[in-house]
Amino acid sequence: MPTPQLFSVLTTCKPAGHPAEFFGFNECVRCCLYNQWPCVILNAPNEVPNEISKQDGVRHVIPIGLQKRPILSDFIAASDADWLIISNSDVWITADWVPILQFLEQNDVHFASSRRWDLPEDIRVSELPVFDKLTVAELRKIAKRQSKRTLDVFLVRKTAIEVANVVNPNIGALVPGTVGFDNNLLGLMGEICKTADLSDVLDIFHTNHEPFRKVYLRNHLVSLKDQFRFIKKRHQQRVLVSKKGCLTWSDYRIKLTNTGVTAKKNKFQKIRYYIESARIKLVNKADIWIFIFNKRCFEFLRDRTVLTPGILICGIVIVYPSLRRQNKQTKRAEFGEAVAENVNGKVNEWKAKLSTE
């Protein structure tokens, strides 16, 4: 009888016919191959190139249901590993799974998740020339840390999720990778078993693909209209969202110390939840205020002088006038384009520096 696997990484991928295109969309699979982690891909028959599904350690499972995307019940049935690591396909994970999972088992914690780092859209971890601890530290310096409610990776004990699905069939009907899945799953699992926040143990890197913002240290909005449309769409799609679908409600906060992995009881959960809510609102408002202020400055100065939005102060794009001669191209420039050009320049500087070190 084969020895059960400690864990499997499960994901559903964006379909692509060519391996290069497939890896371009699905960073998680490449991460698993790089780290030699067992990976299960849940997709329809023709959505994964044969060259990918035949790789060592990769298993392509066809979901049972007829729905467009596999549901959580499909994920539960796809692997017999002790732990299921359910992940969005567009993230790169850095983790030493064995001690983390063993520690969670010893402390009777059966569900855990972590915040992610958002990277500029021109940076993919799999394309970096070197990937080590120093690179991770450099990525953190330019990435935007998402809130405790934007979650892409979930660690769940196989036996716990099976029981949870019996207790509450709504859990098995959730659709991984869709809006609201993260908050729903965390909130519902928190009613059944102990949960943990792994944000200080896992580094999860996600390349930004939202067109209304540029990422470098913080969000740099390039279109308020597009952002509002995106937010409205997210709110329309949310269902079953639990108030406790936030890592501030987790039972433990997992840390790494010189002596290994430790668990700290998460106290004052309600207070921490409201603090996180206030922080999210303040940050989002600040992004809008910064956008409006800079856009007005830009439009005022653009017609009077050449504008060079070339500096960052605390991660904020600051526009300022230049004494250079005005030209038609600058006069026609849009604020969103100017911000994008500035941020792209900073990202390119970072990439050039990294490649020479």
Give me 284's structure tokens.
Answer: 């989002």
Helix H segments across 70-223? 72-78, 97-106, 133-142, 158-167, 169-172, 181-189
205-234 pLDDT tens trace: 999 999 999 999 889 998 998 888 887 776
Give me 184's structure tokens.
Answer: 């729903």
Give me 177's structure tokens.
Answer: 């990778």
**Whole-angstrom distance, CA of residue 91 vs CA of residue 278:** 27
- Asked if 309 and 298 touch (Cβ cutoff 8 Å), the reply is yes
Give me 334's structure tokens.
Answer: 């849009």
- Any idea what the Cα angle at residue 236 is, between residues 150 and 65, rounded to 5°? 80
Identify the H or E element spanning 329. Answer: helix 328-332
Is pLDDT above 60 for 308? no
Share of the chain above pLDDT 90, in %: 64
What's the pLDDT score for residue 214? 93
Q: Kindly report, as residue ranges, where domains of CATH 3.90.550 are found in the chain.
A: 7-276
101-128 pLDDT tens trace: 999 999 999 999 999 999 999 999 999 9
What's the pLDDT score for residue 292? 87
Residue found by looking up tokens 């990776």 in the block: 153
Instruction: Name which CATH class applies to 7-276.
Output: alpha beta
- Asked if 9 and 27 touch (Cβ cutoff 8 Å), the reply is no
What's the pLDDT score for residue 329? 53
**Whole-angstrom distance, CA of residue 88 vs CA of residue 80:** 20
Where does residue 235 rank: exposed (0-12), middle (13-18), buried (19+ CB within 10 A)?
exposed
* Position 138 confidence tier, pLDDT thresholds 50, 70, 90: very high
* Position 1 confidence tier, pLDDT thresholds 50, 70, 90: very low
Average pLDDT of the segment spanning 321-333: 54
What's the pLDDT score for residue 189? 94
What's the pLDDT score for residue 150? 93
* Position 159 confidence tier, pLDDT thresholds 50, 70, 90: very high
- The larger pLDDT score, comparing residue 10 to residue 312, is at 10
**Whole-angstrom distance, CA of residue 200 vs CA of residue 277:** 20
- Asked if 13 and 48 touch (Cβ cutoff 8 Å), the reply is yes
What's the pLDDT score for residue 342? 82
Closest to 183 measured CA to CA, from 211, 158, 151: 151
Strands (E), the chain: 7-11, 39-42, 58-61, 83-87, 91-94, 109-113, 117-119, 144-145, 153-157, 194-197, 203-207, 213-216, 218-221, 252-257, 260-265, 306-307, 311-313, 316-318, 321-322
Where does residue 122 rank: exposed (0-12), middle (13-18), buried (19+ CB within 10 A)?
middle
